[in-house]
């Protein structure tokens, strides 16, 4: 018997309902996915349009910063002191060179690499980023550039870069004033990032390191420009889309007088010392020479380690700016200022006389302080005390005045603090006081300390710039200016003079006291170096001990080491009636101030006062 067939009953209503639910679910899923798709399309095409356009352009357009040309530096008469010269350097990108040593060996056949250059490349590569260019040869000649260009196909990863580099045409004449530029190092980069200036140096390799170059970096550097280049997927340039030229740095004009600077360097003749000349009418620095000096040009391209070590270890210390960093006992050059203090405090007057037997004793003390003149000067008033530089007169004066009044009185003349000149390399010097000695040595102040300070010895130290500034205040009868080097700068085509920083004047109880001291300085000049001058001048010399001579011993320059001999100093200004120049000269270990520093001062004043009228105009 055949099996029975199963009869299936269809519930069409249930099936229809199930199909409907499935269809709706599928529809909503498709709709939701379409919504997500359209949302993403909207987000990409509308909301994030700018972002993706920028990313696309970044892959297609390369922005290359271009360095601005550095501003030029001139003296007060428009003579160029710092310029930009074209240069060529050979650059290497390490990641594009498979074997650096073999490449350098092959390159050496075309362009000679010195052992120092090879060593420097090897050392630098140890920490240099492989994708960044590395300079392997500076200052290529035109022949070397031509030779390499012909053979460049043999050296993948090497190329010649052209640009402008700083050059100082007068070599070491202006080094301590101008300073120099050098390669931006890690410390420079950190400072630029801290001041949010790093973007302005994206295409710049050099920055001011010292002197004017560093102080006025903001004026001299300029503003970088950029190129927008279209590149392919391999980075090859297809075309230039846009050029934004850089703005060059501003040219600046200094108060320096090149002729006077050259004359001062010539007179120093390599001896250790300094000359500072100021215009007392506005505080402008006419000359600032520190000797010995050094050529700043090697620092621009990267000085070798050996050459720098030689400068650093040189016993003459050429790297120090003696004009602003050298600290010397002012010796008798400050006697006019001490005498002015005595007049102001009425310890002395124009006619006060002191007996000088060749020594002076403090009341109740057995020790004798000697005069430079063994047999003394006899009766001495304030004029003769300054003209003949009588130590006894000033021993007695400062003993009566005291160190407290002396320190307070000398402060407005700029002793013991920086002058504020527009370079960073400046020392404060020392204007000693009770508090200073307690803080420095944790010792009390003794009357004997005051006696030494009273003739510019002991703890008192000044820089040549401070000495010149104090002399200018004396010549101006209390009128004061902040010494400065910047005279003007050129903004586009307009030359703008910088404002003069005039400080509150020093006002005396009796203004005639200025005349008394200046007259004594005029008599000093008339008696010695300026007897035959066609102009009137004022001066004061000084001879500063470098070390103390024992009580029973006599100073003899011929029997002591050269570096222990006395320093020679002089301050001077001219013309006496209307001063146009103030000088301070310091010669290290030269001996007697009048005999050694005096001729330099006379020659420099002759150079400035007697030249043609165009050269003395401010």
Residue (of 74, 72, 78, 51) closest to 249 by Cα position = 72
Identify the helix (H) or strand (E) that includes residue 189.
helix 186-194
Beta partners for residue 126, in sequence order = none
Backbone angles phi, psi at 90, to 5 degrees: -100, 120
More confident residue, 491 or 501: 501
Inter-residue contact 454 to 403 (CB < 8 Å)? no
| pTM recorded for the entire structure | 0.82
Annotated binding site for Zn(2+): 356, 371, 377, 390
Beta partners for residue 73, in sequence order = 82, 252
- Cα–Cα distance measured from residue 544 to residue 457, given in angstroms and rounded to the nearest whole number: 7
Mean pLDDT of 333-339: 96
**pLDDT band, very low/low/confident/very high, at 617 (cuts 50, 70, 90):** very low
554, pLDDT greater than 70: no
**pLDDT band, very low/low/confident/very high, at 614 (cuts 50, 70, 90):** very low
Q: Does residue 442 sit in helix, strand or coil?
A: coil
Write out pLDDT tens, residues 236-276. 667 777 888 888 999 999 999 999 999 999 999 999 999 99
Residues involved in catalysis: 332
Q: Does residue 291 sit in helix, strand or coil?
A: strand
CB-based contacts of 616, cutoff 8 Å, min separation 6:
580, 608, 609
- Cα–Cα distance measured from residue 275 to residue 589, given in angstroms and rounded to the nearest whole number: 15
53, pLDDT greater than 70: no
616, pLDDT greater than 60: no
Write out pLDDT tens, residues 428-454. 999 999 999 999 999 999 999 999 999
Six-digit token string for 542: 């000084």
- Cα–Cα distance measured from residue 160 to residue 138, given in angstroms and rounded to the nearest whole number: 10
Write out pLDDT tens, residues 126-169. 777 777 788 888 778 888 888 888 888 888 888 888 888 899 99
C-alpha to C-alpha distances, 371 to 274, 332, 389, 395, nearest whole angstrom: 27, 12, 9, 9
200, pLDDT greater than 60: yes
pLDDT at res. 18? 78
Identify the helix (H) or strand (E) that includes residue 359.
strand 359-361
- Cα–Cα distance measured from residue 300 to residue 206, given in angstroms and rounded to the nearest whole number: 8
Q: What Rg do the C-alpha atoms of the chain give, in angstroms?
A: 37
- Cα–Cα distance measured from residue 495 to residue 253, given in angstroms and rounded to the nearest whole number: 9
Write out pLDDT tens, residues 350-408. 999 999 999 998 888 888 888 888 888 999 999 999 999 999 999 999 999 999 999 99
Annotated binding site: 356, 371, 377, 390
C-alpha to C-alpha distances, 162 to 86, 145, 294, 394, nearest whole angstrom: 7, 10, 27, 65
Residue (of 63, 70, 25) closest to 164 by Cα position = 70
488, pLDDT greater than 90: yes
Q: Does residue 266 sit in helix, strand or coil?
A: helix
Inter-residue contact 265 to 173 (CB < 8 Å)? yes
C-alpha to C-alpha distances, 432 to 384, 416, 439, 446, nearest whole angstrom: 27, 8, 11, 12
Residue (of 572, 571, 561, 562) closest to 609 by Cα position = 572
Beta-carbon count within 10 A of 411 CB: 13
Write out pLDDT tens, residues 403-422. 999 999 999 999 999 999 99
DSSP, residue by residue, 479-536: -EE--B-EEEEEETTEEEEPPP-EEPPP--SSTHHHHHHHHHHHHHHHHTTTTT-SS-
555, pLDDT greater than 50: no
Task: Provide the mean pLDDT of the chain.
Answer: 87
Domains of the chain (ranges; CATH) run 63-254 (3.90.1310.10), 258-616 (3.40.710.10)
- Cα–Cα distance measured from residue 474 to residue 334, given in angstroms and rounded to the nearest whole number: 11
Mean pLDDT of 283-297: 95
Give the residue carrying structure tokens 């200004």.
Answer: 573
Give the CA angle between residues 324, 329, 332 to the nearest 5°: 115
More confident residue, 230 or 245: 245
Six-digit token string for 496: 């703008």
């Amino acid at each position: 018997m055949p099996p029975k067939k199963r009869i299936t009953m269809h519930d069409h209503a249930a099936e229809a309902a199930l199909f409907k639910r499935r269809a709706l679910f599928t529809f909503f899923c498709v709709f939701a996915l379409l919504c997500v798709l359209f949302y993403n399309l909207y987000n990409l095409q509308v909301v994030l349009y700018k972002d993706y356009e920028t990313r696309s352009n970044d892959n297609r357009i390369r922005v290359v910063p271009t360095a601005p040309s550095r501003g030029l530096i001139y003296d007060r008469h428009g003579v160029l002191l710092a310029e930009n010269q074209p240069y060529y350097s050979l650059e290497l990108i390490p990641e594009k060179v498979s074997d650096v040593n073999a490449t350098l060996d092959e390159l050496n056949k075309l362009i000679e690499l010195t052992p120092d250059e090879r060593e420097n490349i090897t050392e630098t590569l140890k920490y240099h980023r492989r994708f960044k260019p590395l300079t392997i040869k500076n200052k290529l000649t035109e022949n070397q550039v031509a030779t390499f260009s012909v053979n460049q196909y043999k050296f993948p990863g090497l190329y010649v870069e052209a640009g402008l580099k700083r050059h100082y045409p007068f070599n070491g004449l202006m080094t301590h004033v101008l300073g120099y530029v050098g390669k931006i190092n890690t410390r420079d980069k950190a400072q630029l990032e801290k001041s949010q200036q790093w973007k302005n140096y994206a295409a710049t390799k050099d920055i001011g390191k010292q002197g004017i170059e560093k102080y006025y970096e903001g004026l001299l550097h300029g503003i970088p420009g950029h190129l927008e280049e279209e590149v392919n997927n391999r980075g090859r340039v297809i075309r230039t889309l846009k050029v934004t030229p850089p703005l060059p740095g501003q040219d600046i004009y200094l108060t320096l007088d090149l002729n006077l600077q050259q004359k001062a360097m010539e007179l120093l003749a390599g001896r250790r010392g300094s000359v500072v000349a100021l215009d007392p009418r506005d505080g402008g620095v006419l000359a600032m020479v520190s000797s010995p000096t050094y050529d700043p040009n090697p620092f621009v391209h990267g000085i070798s380690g050996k050459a720098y070590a030689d400068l650093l270890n040189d016993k003459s210390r050429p790297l120090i700016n003696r004009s602003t960093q050298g600290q010397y006992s002012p010796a008798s050059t400050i006697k006019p200022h001490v005498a002015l203090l005595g007049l102001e405090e009425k310890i002395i007057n124009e006619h006060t006389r002191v007996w000088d037997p060749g020594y002076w004793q403090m009341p109740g003390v057995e020790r004798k302080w000697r005069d430079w003149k063994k047999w003394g000067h006899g009766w001495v008033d304030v004029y003769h005390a300054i003209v003949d530089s009588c130590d006894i007169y000033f021993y007695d004066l400062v003993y009566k005045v005291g160190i407290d009044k002396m320190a307070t009185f000398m402060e407005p003349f700029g002793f013991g603090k920086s002058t504020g000149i527009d370079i960073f390399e400046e020392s404060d010097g020392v204007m000693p006081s009770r508090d200073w000695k307690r803080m420095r040595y944790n010792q009390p102040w003794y009357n004997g300390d005051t006696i030494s300070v009273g003739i510019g010895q002991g703890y008192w130290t000044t820089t040549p710039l401070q000495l010149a500034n104090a002399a200018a205040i004396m010549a101006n009868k209390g009128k004061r200016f902040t010494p400065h080097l910047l005279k003007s700068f050129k903004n586009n085509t307009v030359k703008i003079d910088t404002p003069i920083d005039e400080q509150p004047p020093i006002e005396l109880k009796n203004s005639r006291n200025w005349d008394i001291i200046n007259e004594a300085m005029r008599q000093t000049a008339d008696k010695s170096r300026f007897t035959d001058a066609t102009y009137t001048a004022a001066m004061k010399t000084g001879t500063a001990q470098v070390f103390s001579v024992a009580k029973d011993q006599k100073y003899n320059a011929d029997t002591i080491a050269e570096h222990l001999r006395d320093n020679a100093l002089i301050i001077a200004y001219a013309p006496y009636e209307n001063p146009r120049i103030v000088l301070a000269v310091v010669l290290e270990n030269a001996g007697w101030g009048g005999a050694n520093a005096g001729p330099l001062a006379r020659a420099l004043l002759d150079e400035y006062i007697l030249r043609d009228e165009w050269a003395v105009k401010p």
